Structure formats: structure tokens, C-alpha cells
């Protein structure tokens, strides 16, 4: 059992190592292809479009063909997308390839998370998913360091990413394991119901998607186009990712003890302040890196606080549906982020992008503040804040179980 779980976590860490590297690499590579701001934004958004589409349909694929074969299919789709990109260098081809990679990646995550949920004992599940997400963040961080090692103009980066996905595929497909069934209640939540009960969570997921995708897709490209060395870019992005990991636990504890909307408003204001500071501070690493860590920390904790708030507002038997719907909402924002950000950068440069992201988070803080005034905080549920990321969030969590005496028993992520 532990071997199966460890293999799944290790394979997912390889996938995230590839993702963390490739997302930043592609932002840099696009600066050399001269596709133009609009096409560049669409290429960068295509991954999130594919991710959102895949989140809707991947569950049915897993149920139909089983976890191991589904994992192989999704990994193969990613490898095909990566392999074709250096062969067909055009906006249309890269948009199609990135969409395929988005579908494949969300399929891998859903397959892994549902598998972990089924195999882990209830008493271990919280620790298993914490290990899973910490491994994810660390792999994303290590992926940034690879940026400094490979030439942007060569095809080597595509080969490395393909090899990592293939290695993850080998690890999982050689695991001796029974294929679990996928639990799903996605049809139990009507459109609009979540917005009525938790509008702050929905707005927060949109804003989180917009600013996160715009930051990771566009900031490295701007740095490279302004003559900043690849090693410095990798260090900046590494610090932002590690800042996101460092703030997860303290923000989680704060969120579990206070009105989550108030915590969300504080994170939004903090992000806006950090974004403005990046505009005003001198361009020296000693001044910029601490602010980058705060920026990444505030940015990475917006989404999990929104998810926890939504769970407070919704019945526990709709955990899967709520989590899946928030993934879709965040994916919608993530698809918009690079397109809007690229258009703004084309006109107002990097300062315009940072001010835009600050404005988005201030708007979120205003929405949260307004809701605090008109509605009391939700009662705490036995489902606390989890360390999650919108693009790797567990959306296959178990709904509420029922004890033998008929009393509700809270689900554990």
C-alpha cells in the first residue's frame, strides 16, 4: 500500500517538475519566436483552456478504461504535445499542443488524486495529501532551477520534459495495484448555486486564476526581453514558488481560526501592496527577492482559502462537486490571465501588468469586505484549510460518509 502511494506521489512530483520548468521555459521561448502579443497570450492561455476542458470530461474516461490505462493515455497525450512543438513552430500548432498538454495534465492529476483517495486509509489521508502537495510545490520550485541550465533556442527543453512525463508513466504503469473506482457527484450542484451561497469564493477563484497565470506566464518573458540573465530569472521564480509554500501553513491556521473572508481580504491587500512595491523598488535582487517571496505567498494562498470558505458554506455531501466547480472557475480565470496581461503589457509594459494584478486583488478585497458587512461568517465545519494549488487541487475528494447509526461523518481530504 505505502509503495503504491509513494510511487504515485513520486510520479506526480516528476510531472510537476516538468510542468514547473516548461511553463516558465515556454514564456521565455515565446520571446524569441516573435508571435506578437495577442498570439503569445493565446498560446500561454491554451494550457489552461485544455486544463479546464479536461476537468469536465476526464472522470468519465477514468471510469470507462480504469486508472492505469487512463494514466497512460493522459501521459501519452502530454508527450505527443511536447514532441510536436519543436517540429511545428507556429501559433496555431502551439495552441493545439498546449491545449492537449492541459487536458493530459489535468487527467494525470485527477487519476492520481482519486487513486490516492481510494488507497489511503482514512486515518492517513490528510498526511498523504499534505505530502502530495508539499512534493508538488517542491517539484515546481526545482523546475525553476532547470531554467538556468538549458538553452532557450534549442529543442533540448522539449526532450527533457517529454522524458520526465515518460518516466512518470513508466513508474505508474509498472505499479502492482488494483484500479479503484472514481467517486463523483459532479451533477449534484446546479450552476449558480455555488455563486449564491459563496460569492466571495467564486470571485476569489477567478481573481486567483487571472493573477497566477499572468504572473507565471508573462513576468519571466518580460525579464528575458529586458536583458536579465536566465539564472536571475530562475532565482526570482524559485523564490516566488517557495514563498507560496512557506505561507501555506500559517495562513491555513489563521484561516481556520477567523472569518475566512477577512483573511482573504487581507491576502488580497497584501498581494496588491507587494505588486506595487515591485514597481517602486530599485531593480536590485536584495530588494526585489523578499517582495517576490511575499507576492508568491499571498498569490498561492488565495485559492485554498477560497476553497475552504466554499466548503464552509456548502453541505459536506457536495465536496466533490464544489471542488470541481471551483477548479473550472479558476481555470476560466487562468485562461483569461495571459491574454489580458499580454495586451496590457504591450501597451503599459511590466508596470501596467503589476498595477492590473493589484487592481484585481483590491477588487476582491472590496467584494469580501462588502460580504462581511451584509452576512455573518459561516459556522466552522470539520473540514479545515488544505494545502492546495488551483492547477493541482484534489478534486476527487470523498463526499460525506454516513456512520452505521445514520449520523453524518465528515469526509477527510
**CB–CB of 195/309 below 8 Å?**
no
- DSSP class of 187: G
Given a cut of 60, is residue 193 above it in pLDDT?
Answer: yes
pLDDT of amino acid 391:
62
Q: Rounded CA gap, 356 and 358, in Å?
A: 5
Give all domains of the chain, ordered by start, each with its CATH number.
2-409 (1.20.1250.20)
Q: How far apart are CA 198 and CA 203, in angstroms?
A: 9
Kindly indicate the confidence band of residue 179, based on its pLDDT and cuts at 50, 70 and 90: low
Better-predicted residue by pLDDT, 283 or 339: 339
The residues with which 409 forms a beta bridge, in sequence order, are 401
Amino acid 106: pLDDT: 87
Hey, is 321 helix, strand or coil? Answer: helix
Average pLDDT over residues 133-142: 81
Average pLDDT of the chain is 82
pLDDT tens-digit profile of 205-221?
999 999 999 999 999 98
Query: Tell me, what's the pLDDT at 369?
Result: 93
Torsion of CA 156, 158, 163, 169, to 10 degrees: 180
CA atoms within 13 Å, Cβ hemisphere of 76: 7
pLDDT value of position 55: 81
Helix/strand/coil for 144: helix
Higher-confidence position of 92 and 191: 92
As a whole number of Å, the end-to-end CA separation of the chain is 18
Average pLDDT, integer, range 273-296: 93
Confidence of residue 401 (pLDDT cuts 50, 70, 90): very low
Q: What count of other Cβ atoms lies within 10 Å of the Cβ of residue 105?
A: 26
319-374 vs 285-313: helix axis angle to the nearest 10? 100
Taking a C-beta distance cutoff of 8 angstroms, is the pair 343, 356 a contact?
Answer: no
- Output the nine-digit C-alpha cell for 199: 460569492
Q: Under DSSP, is residue 408 helix (H, G, I), strand (E, B) or coil?
A: strand
pLDDT of 64 > 80? The answer is yes
Residues 6 or more apart whose CB falls under 8 angstroms from that of 374 comprise none
| pLDDT exceeds cutoff 80 at 138 | yes
Q: How far apart are CA 213 and CA 43, in angstroms?
A: 12
* pLDDT tens sequence across 198-255: 899 999 999 999 999 999 999 998 998 888 888 899 999 999 999 988 888 888 888 8
Contact 183, 396 (CB under 8 A): yes
Query: Torsion angle of alpha carbons 78, 83, 85, 89, nearest 10°?
Result: -160
Q: How many CB atoms lie within 10 A of CB 365?
A: 22
Residue 409 phi, psi (nearest 5): -125, 120
Amino acid at each position: 500500500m505505502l509503495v503504491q502511494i509513494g510511487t504515485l506521489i513520486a510520479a506526480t512530483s516528476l510531472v510537476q517538475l516538468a510542468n514547473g520548468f516548461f511553463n516558465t521555459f515556454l514564456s521565455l521561448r515565446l520571446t524569441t519566436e516573435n508571435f506578437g502579443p495577442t498570439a503569445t497570450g493565446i498560446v500561454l492561455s491554451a494550457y489552461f483552456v485544455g486544463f479546464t476542458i479536461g476537468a469536465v470530461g476526464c472522470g468519465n474516461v477514468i471510469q470507462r478504461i480504469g486508472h492505469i490505462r487512463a494514466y497512460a493515455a493522459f501521459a501519452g497525450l502530454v508527450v505527443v504535445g511536447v514532441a510536436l512543438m519543436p517540429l511545428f513552430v507556429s501559433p496555431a500548432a502551439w495552441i493545439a499542443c498546449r491545449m492537449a498538454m492541459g487536458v493530459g495534465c489535468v487527467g494525470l492529476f485527477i487519476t492520481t488524486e482519486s487513486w490516492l483517495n481510494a488507497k489511503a486509509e482514512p486515518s492517513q489521508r490528510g498526511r498523504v495529501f499534505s505530502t502530495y502537495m508539499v512534493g508538488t510545490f517542491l517539484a515546481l520550485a526545482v523546475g525553476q532551477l532547470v531554467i538556468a541550465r538549458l538553452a532557450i533556442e534549442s529543442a533540448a527543453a522539449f526532450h527533457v520534459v517529454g522524458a520526465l512525463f515518460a518516466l512518470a508513466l513508466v513508474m505508474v504503469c509498472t505499479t502492482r495495484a488494483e484500479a479503484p473506482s472514481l467517486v463523483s457527484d459532479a451533477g449534484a450542484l446546479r450552476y449558480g448555486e455555488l455563486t449564491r451561497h459563496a460569492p466571495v469564493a467564486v470571485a476569489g477563484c477567478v481573481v486567483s486564476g487571472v493573477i497566477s497565470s499572468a504572473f507565471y506566464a508573462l513576468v519571466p518573458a518580460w525579464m528575458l526581453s529586458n536583458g536579465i540573465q536566465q539564472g536571475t530569472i530562475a532565482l526570482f521564480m524559485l523564490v516566488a514558488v517557495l514563498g507560496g509554500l512557506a505561507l501555506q501553513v500559517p495562513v491555513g491556521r489563521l484561516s481556520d481560526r477567523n472569518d475566512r473572508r477577512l483573511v482573504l481580504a487581507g491576502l488580497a491587500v497584501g498581494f496588491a501592496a507587494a505588486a506595487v512595491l515591485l514597481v517602486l523598488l530599485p531593480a536590485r535582487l536584495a530588494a526585489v527577492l523578499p517582495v517576490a517571496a511575499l507576492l508568491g505567498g499571498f498569490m498561492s494562498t488565495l485559492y485554498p482559502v477560497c476553497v475552504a470558505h466554499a466548503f464552509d458554506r456548502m453541505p459536506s455531501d457536495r465536496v466533490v462537486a464544489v471542488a470541481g466547480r471551483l477548479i473550472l472557475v479558476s481555470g476560466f480565470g487562468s485562461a483569461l490571465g495571459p491574454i489580458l496581461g499580454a495586451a496590457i503589457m504591450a501597451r503599459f509594459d511590466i508596470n501596467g501588468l503589476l498595477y492590473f494584478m493589484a487592481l484585481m486583488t483590491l477588487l476582491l478585497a472590496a467584494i469580501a469586505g462588502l460580504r462581511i458587512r451584509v452576512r455573518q461568517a459561516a459556522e466552522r465545519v470539520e473540514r479545515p484549510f488544505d494545502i492546495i494549488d488551483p492547477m493541482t487541487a484534489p478534486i476527487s475528494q470523498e463526499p460525506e460518509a454516513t456512520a452505521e447509526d445514520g449520523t453524518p461523518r465528515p469526509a477527510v481530504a
